[in-house]
């Protein structure tokens, strides 16, 4: 692998699959829950078409954004975007609604 290719490869948060169940459609075993090795994030699958993974920030028990795949969710926790989303939600939970409107807030 060239240095350029390495630089552009996506970083993923190291995680272990913690629950596996057979897929309803194919019957094959699939991952349904995973947890980051640093203990900060839980990745859980939800049954909504197109958005099957949600991340949970465990230290604050805050549910974050939805991602299409476990790989996409692990990339978001690695690059800081998942934490940025959680911090926006926490600001609204503290009553800070002025900076920006958040559709899922329910109070602004």
Residues that bind Zn ion (CB under 5 A): 92, 97, 105, 107-108
Within the chain, residue ranges assigned H as helices are 3-8, 70-79, 81-93
Rank residues 33 and 60 by Cβ distance to Zn ion and give the closer one. Answer: 60
The least distance separating Zn ion from the CB of residue 90, rounded to whole angstroms, comes to 11
In DSSP notation, 65-78 reads EEESSHHHHHHHHH
Residues 67, 75: Cα–Cα separation, whole Å: 10
CB of 93 to Zn ion, least distance (A): 8
Q: For Zn ion, which is the closer residue by CB, 25 or 107? A: 107
Nearer to Zn ion, 42 or 88 (CB): 88
């Amino acid at each position: 692998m060239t240095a350029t290719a390495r630089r552009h490869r996506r970083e993923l948060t190291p995680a272990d699959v913690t629950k596996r169940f057979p897929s309803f459609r194919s019957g094959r075993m699939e991952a349904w829950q995973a947890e980051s090795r640093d203990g900060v994030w839980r990745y859980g699958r939800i049954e909504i078409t197109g958005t099957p993974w949600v991340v949970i920030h465990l230290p604050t028990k805050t549910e974050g954004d939805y991602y299409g795949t476990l790989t996409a969710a692990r990339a978001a926790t690695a690059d800081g975007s998942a934490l940025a989303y959680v911090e926006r939600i926490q600001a609204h939970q503290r009553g800070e609604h002025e900076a920006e409107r958040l559709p899922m807030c329910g109070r602004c």
